[in-house]
């Protein structure tokens, strides 16, 4: 029989990680885990507790936020302290601050423990920035997705437009592209677990691929790895 594997998908913002990870997990009967949603949930809690400015002066105080924090997945929903925050964590106010929050060591240490526990049963597709390099360096399949920054900004804008049909409060394409590139730079240049391609990761440029094409590519590699892994 085939053996379940771990699939790590990393890459910059809006490169197609979660779309690919969710669909590949569905096809394989695996669990999808969105680690970006976990970092976003911590950032949301900081913002809602009015602690952002405090943490910029005294980052060690983030310990109070992490103590007893509960982040859970229920299908496609993300639950923070039992409350559905799936929409709030995608707000631009969270996107703007999440790279700062995710650069803090206590935050990374806490989420790493949770993520490794979530993958213990194998049969997971996990996406983020450091899954192949730090969380599961032993993952049988590691993917690194990239795409042109303009293309990624356009994809994000389409998503935001779908959520706000009357167009109120939408950023323009240039602003969105600048914010995305700024976040990528922060994620790639930070000291702890920076965004980086693991040497064994397969790089896929999704700029000119359809969603189905990128899903089929990753799914095909996964099936092959499952076969190699047969006991
Ligand atoms: O969906 P998008 O690509 O915009 O971002 P995300 O995957 O939701 O991740 C949001 C942020 O969380 C990233 O910009 C990183 O700062 C942080 N993150 C991280 O540091 N490590 C991970 N494994 C996942 C996300
Ligand atoms: O998770 P990450 O931030 O890397 O990206 P995503 O949320 O999966 O994808 C960003 C947007 O690009 C989504 O609206 C996708 O539907 C879209 N997209 C894609 O992922 N791949 C394509 N080939 C075309 C569009």
Structure tokens at 187: 């994620």
Closest ligand to 183 CA? 1
Nearest CA residue ID for atom 14, ligand 1:
99
Q: Convert the pLDDT of each residue in 7-26 to its tens digit.
A: 999 999 999 999 999 999 99
Q: Is 147 annotated as a binding residue?
A: no
Q: Quote the radius of gyration of the chain (alpha carbons, Å).
A: 17
| Per-residue pLDDT reduced to its tens digit, 177-223 | 999 999 999 999 999 999 999 999 999 999 999 999 999 999 999 99
Report d(CA 131, CA 120) in Å as an integer. 14
Q: Relative to the alpha carbon of 208, which ligand is closest?
A: 2
Question: In degrees rounded to 5, what are phi and psi of residue 201?
Answer: -75, 145
136: Cα within 13 Å, side-chain hemisphere: 30
Instruction: Return all residues near 88 (Cβ < 8 A) that are at least 6 apart.
Output: 44, 94
Phi, then psi, of 8 in degrees rounded to 5: -105, 125
pTM above 0.95, yes or no: yes
Distance 155 CA to ligand 2 centre (A): 6
Does the annotation list 19 as a binding residue? yes
Q: What are the start-end ranges of the E strands in 85-192?
A: 124-128, 141-146
167 among annotated binding-site residues: no
For residues 39 and 98, is the Cβ–Cβ distance under 8 A?
Answer: yes
Write out pLDDT tens, residues 116-135: 999 998 999 999 999 999 99
Take residue 220 and report the two structure tokens written for it.
Answer: 């095909």
């Amino acid at each position: 029989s085939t053996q379940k594997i771990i699939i790590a998908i990393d890459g910059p913002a809006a490169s197609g990680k979660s779309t690919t990870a969710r669909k590949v997990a569905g096809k394989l009967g695996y669990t999808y885990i969105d680690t970006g949603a976990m970092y976003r949930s911590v950032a949301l809690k900081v913002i809602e507790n009015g602690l952002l400015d405090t943490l910029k002066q005294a980052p060690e105080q983030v310990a109070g936020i992490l103590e007893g924090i509960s982040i859970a997945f229920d299908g496609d929903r993300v639950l923070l302290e039992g409350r559905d925050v799936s929409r709030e964590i995608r707000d631009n106010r969270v996107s703007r601050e999440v790279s700062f929050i995710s650069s803090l060591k206590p935050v990374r240490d806490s989420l790493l423990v949770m993520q490794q526990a979530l993958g213990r049963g194998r049969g997971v597709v996990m996406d983020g920035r450091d899954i192949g390099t730090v969380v599961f360096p032993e993952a049988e399949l590691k993917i690194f997705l990239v795409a042109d920054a303009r293309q990624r900004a356009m994809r994000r804008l389409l998503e935001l437009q779908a959520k706000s049909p009357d167009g109120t409060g939408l950023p323009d394409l240039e602003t969105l592209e600048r914010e995305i590139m700024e976040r990528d730079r922060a994620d790639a240049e930070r000291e702890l677990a920076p965004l980086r391609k693991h040497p064994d990761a397969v790089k896929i440029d999704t700029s000119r691929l359809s969603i189905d094409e990128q899903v089929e590519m990753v799914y095909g590699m996964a099936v092959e790895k499952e076969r190699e892994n047969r006991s």
